[in-house]
Structure 1
Amino acid sequence: MKHYKIIAMTAMENEQRVQYVLNNPQFNYIATVSPDENGVKKIINTAIDALVVMTDNLTGDHCALLEQIYMAKKNIVMILITNVCDLQMLTEAMDCGIGKVLTTDMDKKEIQENIVAEIVKNQSRGSESEEKGYDSKILSVFGTKGGTGKTTVAVNMAVALQKKGKKVLLIDLDLQFGDVGVFMDVPVHDTISDLIAENDFSLATIKNYIYKHSSGVRLLLAPQSPEFAELVKSSHINEIVTAVKEFYDYIIFDLGPTLDECALQALEMSDTVYFIVTPEISTLKNTKTCMKVMTTLELAGKVKFILNKDGDSYVKKKDVESTLDNEIAFVIPSEPKNTIASINRGVPIVISYPKSKVSKEIVKYVNGDEI
């Protein structure tokens, strides 16, 4: 009979309960640990097949600990046993890396069979799945002028992808005047320049500088002051993305309006570059000039154009396509009242105004097959 090594994580008042559930000759039940940093260290430093979590309330702190375990030990399966199994609990569990949710109304034998089945399924994936991790895609959102709605698009695409069930990291690379934190109402938090100053690009360290937004999107924020932008080099972008890439479905760069060394590094790493244009002659002129540079750098093949604020002028989609000699991937209508209100509130429009035209177009595109 094969034995599976298991650690349980729960509050101490549930210890006897979880010991009863895991009393099975197939289980090598190593320990019960508390949901704290000491418990996390025990789990990370012990060779186990599964972590069984018993709780009815996945708090923010609890989720942070579980995510830390998940990112450090992707070869184990994490199973939640809970009395509460609503949509919010399932979403939070999935977000933390929990692979299976079981309920306390199941009988002991059924719970044990599910645990064994989940371990076997996880192990059958073998080392190949461990190496692959997430099939990550890297996207850049770029525009040659401020005010085109670049950050609005980046933020709302990230949230829409997260709502779709993807795990998303949004990196604000508008290093001098990045507004992702403002658009998402993020309190004061460490930034990419703080990470650079620590000069440690291990996964565990980078995670300390990533902010988890209420939508589930993870954020790596731009420096709090423009003078710190010069601390960030292209090599740092490469090291950060290399460390975290396998843990996200999508990494999205919100770029500034200039082609500096960090922007070029991000564009090089990207699978797709979403170039934001608006129906204005000056924007189109700058876009054409920039595309000549991107063609020289062999980046033009990655570009997909998004026409934002459609309806703001007499310049129509067909005019934009004719001027740029490129098709528009999708069009976002002009809806200034709802868009400005969502920015001022710090709540992405796909959350604050889900029935708005802007939200519907972004969600429609994200839910398609092209992104």
Structure 2
Amino acid sequence: MPTRILPAVGDADAVRSLTTLLSQLPDAEPVAPVTDSTQLIDTLARLAAESVDELPEVVVVHERIGPVPALELIREVALRFPAVGVILVTSDAGPGLFQAAMDYGARGLVALPLGYEELASRVQAVAQWSVGVRRHLGAAGDVFTGAGGTVVTVSGAKGGVGATVTAVQLALAAQASGRPTALLDLDLQTGDVASYLDVQFRRSVLDLAAITDISPRVLADAVFRHDSGLALLLAPAEGERGEDVTDRSARQIVSALRSRYEVVVVDCGAQMGGAGAAAVEMADTALLVTTPDVVAVRGAKRAVRMWDRLQIRKAEETTVVVNRHTRGTEIQPPLIQKITGTAVAATTVPAHFKELQAAVDAGRLHELDGRSTVRQALWALAAELGLVDHPGTNRRTGRRFRGERGPVGARRRKDGAG
């Protein structure tokens, strides 16, 4: 079977040199080159929309591609199209750039000026890797094989504001709508997803932390399949071992989940370490949960400013979710938006902890009554975020979610339950 190779080169002379060499490789099938980063992503997205099998096995990115820098482009390709192997062509083949390229998701590096033997060796190795990944993906019946799943991170402005409850219910809503969904607990010191869902499982995110190439089989061994259908990757039982999950390993873990599930919800907790920061940076949507009180809103403002200073995420790219909302409180969503400089979700979550208490105490949050205004609000939030195609309906079966009396979020209480 020929190896399809897509060159991404902005310089005309470099295009001719690269395509000439690629055409000489055995069993190689170079496709029409793309000349900038936007064209590359658009081309891969179009092919992925048809089938993962339509994607080229290898993409060769030249260091002078633009307008997005080569390493940033490689990271986007690796995250969105995980079955595609990327090779970086560069004049700097030193160990520093090599390590950076691997961290960003490249599968190989070729030095300029191009040599036939080196290029042939790299292309062959990367093509074999790509074929192996696709074989594993194709063997899993419920694996998502689109252009990369949606990643949503949920962080708390401070402890106790409801980030974990929010993350769990968003994941349950997405799974119930027919989307294969993973819930990752990156609250590494104090993660409680297992407690909320009555899970006892010895594997955790630690089992993947030291693995540099997470295969579908290795990932499947670390994931717990919950009765609700959710795939759970849990926080370590020993909180002190959370430090073993680095920002680099977090990127690899999130990328691996993204390649196999249509929705990935990440509970980052309220304490931001390197792993959580990496997840927030990678996320399609970053949520920051706060309650409408002075201490929590100040915490939200601090978090937003810290993310901006550390170049993790800009304020305008963050969405605040207001939990325990009532109309009688002095701090309302528009004020929170003004204070934090973020977007604020239109859906607010009502202050009705009594609806949650029995399910939380029993560790059965997945069995929360469908008539609960808290659950309805959180599932409406899932719809607002695009995690649910048709609020209240499973897109595969056409049936309503169990326990729902009507569309999610269709009814609002007079007391501002939202």
Name the structure 1 match of 2:41.
none
Which of 213, 221, 228 aligns to 2:234? It is: 221
| Counterpart selection for 1:365 from 378, 381, 385 | 381
Deviations 1:201-259 (A, max 9, x none): 22211210100111111010000011211111111112223333221111111002122
CA positional deviation for 1:326: 3.9
SS in 2 for 1:159: helix
Amino acid at match of 2:356: T
Matched, 1:155 2:171: no
Does the aligned pair in 1 maintain the 2:317–2:342 contact within 8 Å? no
Partner of residue 97, structure 1:
142
Counterpart residue type for residue 191 of structure 2: G
Q: Is the 8 A contact 1:189 1:211 kept in 2?
A: no
Match of 1:332 in 2: 349
User: Is 1:141 the equivalent of 2:154?
Assistant: yes
Contact 1:232 1:262 in 2 (8 A): yes
Give the corresponding residue for 1:57. Answer: none
Alignment-derived partner of residue 365 in structure 2: 348
| Counterpart pick for 2:322 among 295, 300, 307 | 307
Any conservation in 2 of the 1:159–1:217 contact (CA below 8 Å)?
yes
SS in 2 for 1:332: coil
Q: Distance in 2 between matches of 1:71 and 1:364?
A: 35
What is the alpha-carbon distance in structure 2 between the residues aligned to residue 331 and residue 338 of structure 1?
A: 16
CA distance in 1, matches of 2:236, 2:385: 34
For the pair 1:316 / 2:332, whether they are aligned, the reply is yes
**1:97, 1:327 → 2: CA distance?**
34
Q: Secondary structure of the equivalent of 2:296?
A: helix
- Structure 1 75/323 Cα, relative in aligned 2: closer, same or farther at 3 Å? closer
| AA aligned opposite 1:341 | A
1:148–1:308 CA contact under 8 A, matched in 2: yes
TM-score (norm 1): 0.62
Contact between 2:212 and 2:252, CA under 8 Å: does it hold in 1? no
Shift of 1:266: 0.6
Q: Pick from 219, 222, 231: which aligns with 1:209? A: 222
Match of 1:178 in 2: 191
SS at match of 2:379: helix
* Deviation (angstroms), 1:353: 1.2
Contact kept? 1:144, 1:283, Cα under 8 Å: yes
* Long gaps (5+) in structure 1: 1-69, 79-95, 99-129
Deviations 1:292-314 (A, max 9, x none): 22223151243111000112844
Contact 2:164 / 2:269 at 8 angstroms: preserved in 1?
no
- Root-mean-square deviation (Å): 2.5
- The answer to whether 1:262 aligns with 2:275 is yes
Q: Which has a greater percent of strand? A: 1
Shift of 1:369: 5.9
CA 170–293 in structure 1, closer or farther in 2 if over 3 Å, else same: same
Does the residue aligned with 1:305 lie in a helix, a strand or coil?
A: strand
Count of residue pairs brought into register by the alignment: 251
By how many angstroms is 1:270 displaced? 0.6
Q: Which shifted more, 184-193 or 268-277? A: 184-193
1:188 and 2:204 matched: no
Structure 1 position 133, deviation (Å): 2.8
User: Percent identity between the aligned chains?
Assistant: 25
TM-score (norm 2): 0.55
Tell me if 1:286 matches 2:299: yes
CA–CA distance in structure 2, aligned partners of residues 369 and 321 of structure 1 = 17
208, 230, 233: which is aligned to 2:246?
233
